[in-house]
């Protein structure tokens, strides 16, 4: 890192800093993007050194003091913002679920899809058969696609192995892909995705497998930072979730959950575990909203799943934001219900289907995503000392980021100080 030149991004038309607040953003705070016009950002050693007006940038005392080679990147006419934090992805799977896709389009039920050989069972079979190397290669390809669209930090879940061996293998694949990607990957154990076929009718036995085998092993091998549970109809119960959260805490891991996607459920019994994030939340009750508005737990909305399943109903972002609940946005990248790597597309859905403002969508996808992963101390806003994770969009106004639908306009991405220009070829060309 020390031999790399310092990078000075100059002539930025709009610099979206999101600076100057602590804690996850709520209510009107989501609209305060801290925009600087005609600005510059100086990065060195993987960190942001300074952020400011263009006319001051060339005289930054750091530049005079340091003998580092300085490379200038002209960002005329462009928007620079913190790299997106995709705080909910099922990164590890073996292949697309095309039977589901075709059958669902034709109107088949969940059960009919499963009978035809689709559904989560097909993903389980694929992951159990695959090697770490194969899974890691697929994960890395997806991470690169994400980076090409402005994402610099990705939460990556296991959850299609559903045996101690296959879940650990999935987390090893996450680690292997993370080693080869310059961005940041946050690994999550989702052993409690559904009860696998071998444990049919014996869910408590499977919960014990997760709590007593998978969690201790993942913690000991340092393969996971969080434990996630799919708490919903056809998956795990609230009691199962409490048991698994208790085991996660015992082993020093953070907790998060999939909740209220298919059916309404009480949220408050889980709040004592201080979850970093509760995700989906399409059907959350009024009492729980009041509780969540008082806490640091982020509610992560995943409209990609609603879109792909062809649902008319989307998470009620307005109700949550207006009540003061901190919300984040993520892709939910997965083969069954949200096969997209694109945060700009998710932002577009948030605006058009959930009536979030473009500013709210950007804050939810950056600083609040960082809070959802407990990384806000080093990511999610552009401030001196934070990680040099930036997205550069070839647009003159931040509102164009959710405006231009598929493909997006990401021009370059800086991951831990490393500039990649996947959409434009080499910078020196």
Give residue number: closest CB to Zn ion. 332
Nearer to Zn ion, 167 or 387 (CB): 167
Listed in sequence order, the residues at least 6 apart from 25 whose beta carbon sits closer than 8 Å to its beta carbon are 32, 326, 363, 364, 367, 368
The number of beta carbons lying within 10 Å of the beta carbon of residue 106 is 8
Nearer to Zn ion, 104 or 256 (CB): 256
Give just the sign of the alpha carbon dihedral 422, 374, 157, 358: negative
Nearer to Zn ion, 178 or 302 (CB): 302
Tokens 């990609």 map to which residue? 304
DSSP string, 290-309: HHHTTSS-EEEE-HHHHHHT
Cα–Cα distance, 336 to 338 (Å, whole number): 6
Cα–Cα distance, 102 to 88 (Å, whole number): 25
Length of the chain: 429
Structure tokens that stand for 233 in this block: 């109809």
Nearer to Zn ion, 275 or 358 (CB): 275
Residue 25 phi/psi, 5-degree rounding, is -80, 140
Nearer to Zn ion, 288 or 332 (CB): 332
Cα–Cα distance, 24 to 371 (Å, whole number): 6
CB half-sphere exposure, 185, CA atoms < 13 A: 31
Rounded to whole angstroms, what are the CA distances from 356 to 233, 262, 326?
A: 28, 22, 13
Minimum CB distance to Zn ion, residue 353 (Å) = 18
Rounded to whole angstroms, what are the CA distances from 281 to 87, 323, 365?
A: 15, 14, 17
Cα–Cα distance, 151 to 181 (Å, whole number): 12
Minimum CB distance to Zn ion, residue 80 (Å) = 30
Is 214 within 8 Å of 167 (Cβ atoms)? yes
Minimum CB distance to Zn ion, residue 334 (Å) = 6
Minimum CB distance to Zn ion, residue 364 (Å) = 17
Nearest to 174 by CA among 124, 216, 140: 140
Minimum CB distance to Zn ion, residue 230 (Å) = 7
Nearer to Zn ion, 332 or 389 (CB): 332
Residue 379 phi/psi, 5-degree rounding, is -140, 170
Minimum CB distance to Zn ion, residue 93 (Å) = 12
Nearer to Zn ion, 82 or 126 (CB): 126
Q: What are the E-state strand segments in 133-201?
A: 151-157, 184-192
Minimum CB distance to Zn ion, residue 203 (Å) = 20
232 near Zn ion, judged by CB under 5 A: no
Minimum CB distance to Zn ion, residue 293 (Å) = 23
For residues 275 to 314, the per-residue mask of contacts with Zn ion, x marking binding by CB under 5 A and - elsewhere, is: ----------------------------------------
DSSP designation for 338: B
Nearer to Zn ion, 19 or 90 (CB): 90
Interactions with Zn ion, residue window 322-361 (CB under 5 A) = 332
Nearer to Zn ion, 332 or 387 (CB): 332
Minimum CB distance to Zn ion, residue 228 (Å) = 8
Nearer to Zn ion, 122 or 337 (CB): 337
Size, binding site for Zn ion by CB under 5 A:
1
Minimum CB distance to Zn ion, residue 75 (Å) = 34
Is 251 within 8 Å of 215 (Cβ atoms)? yes
Binding site for Zn ion (CB under 5 A): 332
């Amino acid at each position: 890192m020390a031999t790399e030149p310092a990078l000075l991004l100059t002539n930025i038309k709009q610099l979206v800093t999101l600076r100057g607040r602590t804690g996850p953003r709520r209510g009107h705070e989501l609209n305060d993007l801290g925009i600087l016009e005609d600005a510059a950002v100086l990065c060195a050693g993987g960190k942001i050194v300074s952020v400011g007006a263009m006319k001051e940038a060339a005289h930054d005392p750091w530049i005079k003091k340091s003998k580092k080679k300085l490379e200038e990147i002209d960002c005329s006419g462009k928007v620079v913002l913190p790299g997106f934090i995709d705080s909910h992805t099922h990164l590890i799977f073996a292949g697309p679920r095309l039977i589901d896709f075709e059958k669902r389009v034709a109107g088949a039920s969940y059960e009919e899809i499963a009978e035809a050989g689709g559904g989560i069972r097909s993903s389980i079979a694929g992951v159990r058969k695959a090697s770490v190397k194969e899974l890691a290669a697929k994960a890395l390809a997806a991470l690169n696609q994400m980076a090409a669209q402005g994402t610099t930090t990705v939460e990556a879940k296991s959850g299609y192995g559903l045996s101690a061996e296959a879940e650990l293998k999935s987390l090893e694949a996450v680690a292997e892909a993370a080693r080869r990607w310059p961005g940041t990957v946050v690994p999550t154990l989702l052993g409690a995705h559904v009860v696998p076929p071998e444990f049919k009718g014996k869910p408590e036995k499977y919960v014990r497998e997760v709590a007593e085998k998978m969690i201790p092993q993942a913690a000991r091998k340092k393969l996971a930072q969080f434990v996630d549970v799919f708490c919903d109809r056809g998956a795990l119960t609230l009691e199962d979730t409490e048991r698994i959260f208790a085991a996660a805490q015992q082993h020093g891991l953070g907790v998060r959950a999939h909740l209220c996607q298919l059916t309404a459920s009480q949220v408050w019994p889980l709040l004592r575990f201080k979850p970093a994030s509760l995700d989906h939340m399409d059907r959350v009750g009024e009492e729980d909203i009041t509780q969540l508005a008082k806490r640091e737990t982020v509610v992560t909305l995943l409209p990609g799943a609603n879109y792909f399943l062809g649902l008319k109903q989307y998470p009620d972002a307005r109700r949550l934001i207006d009540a003061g609940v901190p919300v984040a946005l993520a892709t939910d990248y997965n083969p069954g219900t949200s096969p997209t790597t694109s945060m700009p597309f998710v932002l577009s859905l948030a605006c058009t289907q959930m009536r979030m403002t473009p500013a709210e969508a950007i804050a939810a996808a950056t600083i609040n995503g960082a809070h959802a992963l407990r990384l806000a101390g080093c990511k999610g806003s552009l401030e001196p000392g934070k990680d040099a994770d930036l997205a550069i969009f070839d647009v003159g106004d931040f509102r164009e980021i959710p405006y231009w639908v598929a493909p997006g306009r990401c021009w370059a991405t800086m991951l831990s100080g490393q500039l990649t220009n996947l959409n434009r070829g080499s910078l020196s060309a």
